[in-house]
Structure formats: C-alpha cells, structure tokens
Chain A
Amino acid sequence: MSGTPSKGDYSERTVLRNVQTDVEAVQSRVADSLAHFKYEGTEQFAIRLALEEGLTNAFRHGNKNDPAKSVRFLCRISAHEAYFEIEDEGPGFDPETVPDPTSDENIEIPSGRGIMLIRAYMSEVEYLKPGNRLRMLYRRP
C-alpha cells in the first residue's frame, strides 16, 4: 500500500498515550507536513478527519480507554500521497461485522460512523488481522 520513503518525505513513528494531547500533537505535525507539500484544503480536511476517526477508534474501541495502553502511529507523507498506520493494544475486530450506519434501522443510532468516514475519504483502507492495526493511504488525484 505504501510507497518507499524517499528523500524529502515526512515520516514519523510515535507511541501515543493520551487521546487528547497526543492526537492533537500528531494532527498538528501532519497538518504542517501537508501544508508543506501544498495539499489542498479539501485534501487536508479528508486526511484530518480520517486520522481523527482512526486514532479515536484505537483509543476508545481498541484500548477501551485504558490509560495503561498505548497506540502506535506511523506516517509517511510525500508530495503524492499520505500513508498512515495505527495500531492499538486491543484484541482486534472484524470490520465487516460493523453494521451499515446509513441503513434505515441504524440511521438514528448515535455511533458507528467512523470507519465509514475513513473509507469515504481515504484511497485505500485495510485492517490487518486480528483487526487492531489500520493501514490507510490517501493518494492525491
């Protein structure tokens, strides 16, 4: 899914422990990098949303908000694409079992839209078995 990093790309590999401060810090660094590579506003919006959903899901659903557990984050950003990996310490899940939040019976249920938004905004999305590691790629048009 990801291209080999080349000179000038932005990359980082971080362990996140706090859903508030660490996620915000990651978002800030990614935003700086996207701006550096002149990603459009709509592209930055898409990536920020997908990252927010992926990281929040990892802390909330993967780690069950256990402060003893962390989330491993990796990204590689170039002028052409932005690649991310998010891995939590949970047991994983089967993304195919998540109900369709847009169906009539689920539309008024408050949860379950994060994965749908990630899929809508990213070019490629993959959950590696057992489902606690998300890989996603945004490829610029």
Chain B
Amino acid sequence: MGSVASRLNVRVQNGVTRIEFVDRNILDETNIAQIGEEIGRIIDSQVNPKLLICFKGVEHLSSAALGTLITVNNRVRGKDGQMRLSDIDPQIYEVFKITKLNKIFQIHDTAEKALASFS
C-alpha cells in the first residue's frame, strides 16, 4: 500500500509553522479533505499552534477550501493558537471579501509581514 503524497510544503520558522500548497488549484474535494487532515495533524502536534498559511502560487480556490480554512481556524483558536494568511492573489482575495471571510481571518500581503505579526 503506497503512501499518499503530501499536498503541503511545511517548514517551521521562529516557532511558526509555515504552510504552502503544492497545488495551484485548490478545488477538488478529495484534495481539500486531505489538506484539512494534514493541517489538522499539525495543529494536534502543537500546544498553542502558530500557523502561517501562505497562498503563494495558488490561482483558484473553491468554497470547500474556504470551509476547510474556517475549520482549521476554529481548531487553532480552540487551542489558544494563532493563524495568519498571506500572499493571496487579488482575485482570490475578492472571494474572501465577497464571503466576508476577510473579517474573520488575519490576512497579510506577504509572509514576512504575517510572520512579524505573531505574538
């Protein structure tokens, strides 16, 4: 039985887990479910998770992906953690604005600015 390839690139930087996506399009529900599970394992492994989810290179994103981000955000907050989003393409940012999710997520232009915002 072969292992499933990760859909994330993950590295830890100054105590913050920085997550980037392998896929340019985050649309397929099976992939989105896998992304949710992978991030969930990261959250489970930390006491007060600090996550930076970087959208560099992501061109499309569906409402199912937004749902997973909400679930992840709720889990991080449930562990008194912090979560930031960065490098969101302007067209995708518009999706966050339409759904008003830009009000519940802390979104920064760049990963560097997001990293600097963690307390």
Contact = CB atoms under 8 A, between A and B. Distances in A.
B101 interface: yes
B71 A110 contact: yes
Contacts of A102: 99-100
A96 interface: no
Interface residues of B, number: 23
B59 to A, nearest CB: 8
B28 A20 contact: yes
B63 A107 contact: no
A120 interface: yes
B29 interface: yes
A48 B68 contact: no
A45 B60 contact: yes
Size category of the A interface is 20 to 34
A20 B62 CA distance: 14
A49 interface: yes
A109 B98 contact: no
A24 B25 CA distance: 11
Nearest to A119: B98
A70 B74 CA distance: 35
A133 to B, nearest CB: 20
Contacts of B30: 20
A6 interface: no
B6 interface: no
Given A107-B101, A108-B74, A116-B98, A42 B64 contact: no
Interface of A: 19-20, 24, 41-42, 45, 48-49, 52-53, 56, 60, 101-102, 107-111, 113-114, 116-117, 120
Interface of B: 27-30, 60, 62-64, 66-68, 70-71, 73-74, 91, 95, 98-101, 103-104
